[in-house]
Amino acid sequence: MNLFTVDSLRAGYRGKEVLHDVSITVGAGEFAAIIGPNGAGKSTLLRSLSGYIAPSGGDITFMGKPVASYTRREFSRELSVVPQFTETDLSFTVREFGELGLFPHRKFFDVGMSSGNEIVDIALEAAGISHLRERNMMEISGGERQLAYIARALVQSSSVMLLDEPVSHLDISHAIRIMDVLHSQNRQGTTVITVLHDVNLAAEYCSRIIALKEGRVFADGTPREVLTYEKVEELFDTVCIVTENPISKRPLVYPVPGFLRGGG
Amino acid sequence: MKTGIKILLFTAAACGIFVLCVSAGSVFISPFRIPEILSGGAGSVEYRILVDLRIPRILMALVVGASLSVSGVVFQAVLKNPLADPYTTGVSGGAAVGATVAIAFSMSYFLVALLAFGGSLCAVSFVYAVSRYRGLSGTALVLAGIALSVLLSSAVLLVFAFSRADYVHKALLWLMGDLSIAKYAVVMRMAVVSLLLTGLGFLYRRHLNIISFGDEFAHGLGVSRGDIVNLFWIASLLAAISVSLAGVIGFVGLLVPHVMRFMFGPDHSRLIPASALGGAVFLMGADTLGRVLVPPYDIPAGIITGFAGGLFFLVLVIRKGGAYT
């Protein structure tokens, strides 16, 4: 059964439409990457799926019901969101931060502190940051902090996760650590939909790539279907070479320096 | 547990300061004699000083200080701006116009408070409407609040320009925040309302923790727009009743939450009670200082809190540099 069904979606921000006529479906258990150039509408699509912005046209349904028909609380029990990384100066411990994920599962008047402890422990373990549990969020590295954000999302809902550029500010080693965590979660049944800047990470980890260009779906399929040099060159208006990662046999894209297409 | 000890020490210090504040004044009354005087009946001068003057004033300072400081905590979370304070939304400007007009027409204390309250609610509603139009964003709210405050302070000066000098002086005293007008009946009613609003804010403590991390983060965790609207009005009402009964007392809602966050961390389940207690003690201390510094003159509490707040932030800027911008 389809988890998300997006039909002729139009969406954007005050007076400016970013997505024009996007139709996709995402099934349970997929690991989908949304790729495309800056301004193509990747974050807008993700935010439409999470209900953060209301569509200006078209329909989005989640498990057969319109996204808008869920209350915030109901919806956030079903799926968790990791928004684009922003620095904060709030000195929670990693564990306290993870506990924020219990929020939609608690009642308004609930005073209990202990319920849900195991869920937090499991999530910290899955993200590989159990050893940091008592550390302050301000003291750990950017990569570790992003892992804490992902653990927090796992506490909230491990059935569906939406992520907006979870690795774009990180070095390769932390990027790989985070993608590995998402990958192993996906194998345990989590549906993962993530915006990615790095097409090669998308190629390595994802079962499906949705490429957006100028607010429309440009290509949609497996990495091997989407990441051909004709498509990638047109998608990014850049001359590229697509080969194959000799270990994983996945497509590998690298740009040719100094060549922009179309006189750009 | 470490925080447990901190809370205990903090509460003990608060009680100590309370006793000192009751004792201090143009006539010093030893703390050890207070029970004896109070049980001695209405005959003595000291009894009259304590019961008619000091205690209502101190109770007023406690209630107003707690309200302003809790309002500040909520606003700082909702607006995601560490420099937001209870007056960010133009509450003080609206109240100032209402009160100044009432004083210029030599109305009673009750009407001054009523007009001040009406003025602050009008200002908040206006700022709310503007920011609602712009999607309830924190930045729009702060900017609308600043713009409105400028307009309203010009309006106050305009009223001054047409008023008699003694009314201007009276209005100025009100604007500086004056607790000497405290009366039991008013204080008790305000205490009930403040306690209810603070309790309501406390129920939202987990929402506040989450909202502090940003709109999209909070939305993803199930915080609805309605929750944010409720918090906005809780904080605004706390500020509006404080300012309409005690005048514009600045910096309490800014300084106290900062100190409490430093002492007890960012979790609102500790931050809200700590700020309520801290704000109450801080304003009580500031008001007492105003009473004893240059007797027989009373320095309005708002002036003391202004000095304390300004100095505090200067020290913060010098020590931490741009880390707070």
User: What are the C-alpha distances in Å from B113 to residues B87, B96, B107, B240, B278?
Assistant: 17, 10, 10, 10, 25
Reported as a single tens digit per residue, the pLDDT across B207-228 is: 999 998 888 899 999 998 899 8
Q: Which of A14, A70, A103, A139 to mutate to test the interface with B (most CBs of B within 10 A)?
A: A103
* B219 closest CB neighbour out of A52, A88, A96: A52
- pTM for the model stands at 0.89
- Beta-carbon count within 10 A of A264 CB: 6
According to DSSP, the β-strands at A79-82 and A57-62 are: unpaired
According to DSSP, the β-strands at A65-66 and A57-62 are: antiparallel
Mean pLDDT of chain A: 90
The pLDDT value given to residue A259:
72
Reported as a single tens digit per residue, the pLDDT across A97-153 is: 999 999 998 877 666 555 678 899 999 999 999 999 999 998 898 899 999 999 999
* B216 closest CB neighbour out of A75, A83, A104: A83
pLDDT classification of B46: cutoffs 50, 70, 90: confident
The pLDDT value given to residue B322:
53
- In chain A the domains, ranked by start, together with CATH numbers, are 2-87+159-263 (3.40.50.300)
ipTM of the complex model: 0.89
pLDDT classification of B312: cutoffs 50, 70, 90: confident
**pLDDT-above-90 percentage for chain B:** 39
Residues of B with CB under 8 A from a CB of A: 82, 135, 203, 206, 209-210, 212-214, 216-217, 219-224, 265-267
Nearest to A127 by CA among A197, A182, A69: A182
Nearest to B234 by CA among B215, B211, B266, B259: B211
| Distance in angstroms (rounded) separating the CA atoms of residues B52 and B54 | 6
User: What are the C-alpha distances in Å from B36 to residues B39, B180, B285?
Assistant: 5, 25, 24
- Beta-carbon count within 10 A of A60 CB: 22
| Distance in angstroms (rounded) separating the CA atoms of residues B64 and B179 | 9
Q: Does domain B2-324 have CATH number 1.10.3470.10?
A: yes
DSSP-derived secondary structure letter, B250: -
Could you tell me which residues are beta bridge partners of residue A10? A57
The pLDDT of residue B65 is above 70: yes
A82 vs B contacts (CB less than 8 Å): 220
The domain limits of chain B are 2-324
CB B279 within 8 A of CB B66: yes
**Percentages of chain B per state (helix, strand, coil), in multiples of 5:** 80, 0, 20
Q: Which residues of chain A have pLDDT under 70?
A: 109-115, 260-264
State the average pLDDT over residues B26-44. 83
pLDDT classification of B185: cutoffs 50, 70, 90: confident
- Beta-carbon count within 10 A of B247 CB: 27
DSSP-derived secondary structure letter, A85: P
Chain A nearest-CA distance from B296, in A, is 45
Contacts of B2 (CB under 8 A, 6+ apart): none
Query: Helix crossing, B225-246 with B109-133: angle to 10°?
Result: 150
The pLDDT value given to residue B325:
40
The pLDDT value given to residue B324:
47
Residues of chain A numbered 140-169 and touching chain B (CB < 8 Å): 156, 162
Inter-chain contact A103–B222, Cβ cutoff 8 Å?
Answer: yes
The pLDDT value given to residue A110:
65
Q: Report CA A99 to chain centroid distance, whole Å.
A: 21
Inter-chain contact A73–B222, Cβ cutoff 8 Å?
Answer: yes
Residues in chain B: 325
Q: Determine if the peptide bond prior to B273 is cis (ω within 30°).
A: no
CB-count burial class (<10 Å; 0-12, 13-18, 19+) for B7: middle
The pLDDT of residue B150 is above 50: yes
Query: Helix crossing, B252-264 with B268-292: angle to 10°?
Result: 130
Chain A nearest-CA distance from B222, in A, is 4
pLDDT classification of B136: cutoffs 50, 70, 90: low
* A91 closest CB neighbour out of B206, B209, B265: B265
